[in-house]
């Protein structure tokens, strides 16, 4: 595909980096020459210095030949305008990053596809929904559902007293004859491993498991986790993300939101009818104690300052809060979750890039998730007629060592992949792959 990306900030950079490993022609547009120079050094792309709202720049990028135009600058007006222009100049599809949630409201009587925007990405909404998903799956550090939950990939961090510690994957397989789950990856000491039967679980491993719904309870038991329901949550920061998390959870549990700005806190109190909004500085330990942080089940920090979010999450964990989730602005912070003992760190720009990748690849890949802080992808392929993956049982396929087939969805039925499983045309197959295995894996599904 020929893909033009306008805006090489964090979203554009991560998107270009993901796509440059595949067979795409990528053209990047940005007004900042230094950004372009850095992006060019990290990914195999063509760069153009200029504004994507200039027709001459769009013509130089040959948007008339583009399969996809993606506008992800920091300015909504630029993204909307350049997407419309690119569509009028001949781009087949366009995506615009937005910052106004109103555009996604079902009651808005505007069909944006008619004016030139095929898909809109709203990073704050995506980040809020990611946080809510992690809170509702209380024990998990990562959750990805496929086909409405027929299969799920669940990330868990193993404590030193978890029942599986020092056991091998083969030991677990022998213990459970009816296997409704499969370990697809281990993350240990900043390294991601596609596990083999003899690999043993160690304390502080981050384990990724694909499961049918009926396997979830066994997974929690083996990991030594209680997947209890949370009743109380405290949110630090009344940003768009903080407000949206409160909106999504206030009908399900007791929500407290702390915001330092008086005007913003008053507006939030009017909007969030079931959330207790508190005006105060969330960095004040006495305030947090006074508002009962010790008694909450989950703590979410989404202020504009990443360091504040990390520190307050660490404080919450120290005080016994079961789950702490922080928003960070640098992807480099995310691997810290394993080393400093936090449950999850979320980066809204990386989530946005992942969702755009999913849109780009959905002709063959109907879902794509890049695990934050983990150097791997989870892909859901639709099996094409006569593709290599259908020719033999899985154990005889010579599948890439850097990848593993986790599960299969066939109609309404889901199954965990084992060696004797034979994949059929039309199946949806969930694959976990390290970067080195992506290209080889794709060949099996063409």
Q: Answer whether 432's CB lies under 8 Å from 370's CB.
A: no
Alpha-carbon gap, residue 345 to 337, rounded angstroms: 7
Alpha-carbon gap, residue 116 to 52, rounded angstroms: 15
The pLDDT of residue 345: 86
Least confident of 298-302, 321-325, 341-345: 341-345
Segment (H or E) for 94: strand 93-97
Nearest to 265 by CA among 297, 291, 236: 236
- What 3-state class would DSSP assign to 271? helix
> 356-443 — its CATH code?
3.30.70.1450
pTM of the shown model: 0.74
Half-sphere exposure of residue 388, counting CA atoms within 13 Å on the CB side? 12
Burial track 310-344 (b if 16+ CB lie within 10 A, e otherwise): bebbbbbbebebbbbbbbbeebebbbebbeeebbb
Q: Where in the chain is the domain with CATH 3.40.50.720?
A: 2-121, 230-348
Give the residue carrying structure tokens 């330092």. 260
| For range 140-161, the mean pLDDT | 81
Give CA separation, 379 vs 94, 431, 432, in Å. Answer: 23, 5, 6
| For range 278-288, the mean pLDDT | 90
Structure tokens at 415: 């199954």
Q: Where in the chain is the domain with CATH 3.30.70.1450?
A: 132-223, 356-443
| Phi, psi at 293, each rounded to 5° | -60, -30
pLDDT digits (tens, 9 = 90+) for 27-39: 999 999 998 988 8
179, pLDDT greater than 80: no
Burial status of residue 110 (CB atoms within 10 A of its CB: 0-12, 13-18, 19 or more): exposed
Cβ-Cβ contacts under 8 Å for 3 (sequence gap 6 or more): 19, 24, 25, 26, 27, 66, 67, 68, 69, 70, 360
Question: Got the DSSP string for 251-263?
Answer: TTSEEEEEES-HH
Please provide the distance, in angstroms rounded to a whole number, between the alpha carbons at the two ends of the chain: 16
CATH of 230-348, one of 3.40.50.920, 3.20.20.100, 3.40.50.720, 3.90.220.20: 3.40.50.720
The pLDDT of residue 86: 96
Measured in residues, the chain has a length of 446
pLDDT band at 365 (very low <50, low <70, confident <90, very high): very low
Burial status of residue 262 (CB atoms within 10 A of its CB: 0-12, 13-18, 19 or more): exposed
Segment (H or E) for 71: strand 68-71
256, pLDDT greater than 80: yes
Q: 171 or 361: which carries more pLDDT confidence?
A: 171
Q: Which CATH class is domain 2-121?
A: alpha beta
CATH of 132-223, one of 3.30.70.1450, 3.50.50.60, 3.30.200.20, 3.40.980.10: 3.30.70.1450
| For range 426-436, the mean pLDDT | 87
Beta pairing class for 68-71 and 93-97: parallel
142, pLDDT greater than 90: no
367, pLDDT greater than 50: no
Sign (positive/negative) of CA torsion 17, 20, 22, 26? Answer: positive
Least confident of 144-148, 244-248, 327-331, 393-397: 144-148
Q: How far is Cα of residue 338 from the mean position of the Cα atoms in its chain? A: 17
Alpha-carbon gap, residue 327 to 301, rounded angstroms: 6
Nearest to 417 by CA among 400, 430, 435: 430
Nearest to 392 by CA among 349, 424, 344: 424
Residue 275 DSSP code: S
Torsion of CA 329, 330, 334, 336, to 10 degrees: -110
Q: Answer whether 50's CB lies under 8 Å from 29's CB.
A: yes
């Amino acid at each position: 595909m020929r893909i033009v990306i306008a805006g090489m900030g964090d979203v554009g950079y991560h998107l270009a980096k993901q796509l440059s490993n595949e067979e795409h022609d990528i053209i990047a547009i940005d007004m900042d020459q230094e950004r372009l120079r850095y992006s060019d050094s990290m990914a195999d792309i063509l760069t153009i210095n200029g504004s994507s709202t200039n027709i001459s720049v769009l013509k130089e990028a040959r948007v008339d030949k583009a399969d996809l135009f993606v506008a992800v600058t920091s300015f909504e007006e630029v993204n909307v305008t350049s997407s419309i222009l690119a569509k009028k100049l001949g781009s087949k599809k366009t995506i615009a990053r937005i910052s106004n949630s109103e555009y996604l409201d079902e009651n808005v009587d505007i069909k944006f596809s008619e004016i030139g925007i095929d898909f809109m990405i709203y990073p704050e909404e995506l980040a809020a929904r990611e946080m809510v998903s992690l809170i509702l799956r209380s024990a998990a550090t990562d959750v990805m559902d496929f086909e409405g939950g027929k299969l799920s990939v669940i990330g868990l961090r193993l404590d030193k007293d978890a029942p599986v510690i020092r056991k091998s994957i083969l030991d677990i397989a022998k213990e459970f004859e009816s296997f409704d789950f499969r370990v697809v990856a281990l993350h240990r000491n900043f390294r991601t491993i596609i596990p083999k039967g003899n690999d043993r679980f160690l304390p502080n491993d981050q384990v990724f498991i694909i499961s049918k719904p009926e396997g979830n309870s066994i997974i929690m038991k083996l990991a030594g986790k209680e997947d209890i329901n949370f009743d109380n949550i405290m949110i630090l920061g009344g940003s768009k993300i903080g407000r949206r998390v409160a909106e999504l959870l206030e009908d399900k549990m007791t929500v407290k939101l702390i915001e330092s700005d008086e005007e913003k806190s008053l507006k939030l109190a009017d909007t969030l009818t079931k959330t207790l909004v508190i005006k105060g500085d969330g960095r004040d330990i006495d305030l947090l104690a006074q508002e009962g942080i010790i008694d909450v089940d989950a703590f979410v920090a989404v202020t504009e300052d990443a360091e504040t979010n990390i520190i307050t999450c660490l404080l919450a964990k120290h005080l016994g809060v079961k789950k702490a989730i922080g928003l960070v602005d640098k992807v480099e912070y995310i691997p810290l979750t394993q080393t400093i003992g936090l449950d999850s760190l979320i980066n809204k720009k990386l989530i946005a890039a992942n969702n755009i990748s999913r849109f780009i690849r959905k002709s063959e890949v109907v879902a794509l998730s890049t695990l934050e802080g983990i150097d791997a992808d989870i892909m859901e392929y639709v099996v094409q007629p006569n593709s290599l993956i259908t020719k033999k049982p899985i154990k005889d396929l010579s599948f890439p060592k850097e990848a593993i087939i986790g599960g299969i969805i066939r109609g309404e039925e889901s199954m965990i992949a084992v060696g004797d499983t034979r994949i059929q045309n039309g199946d949806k197959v969930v694959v976990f792959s390290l970067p080195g295995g992506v290209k080889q894996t794709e060949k099996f599904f063409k």
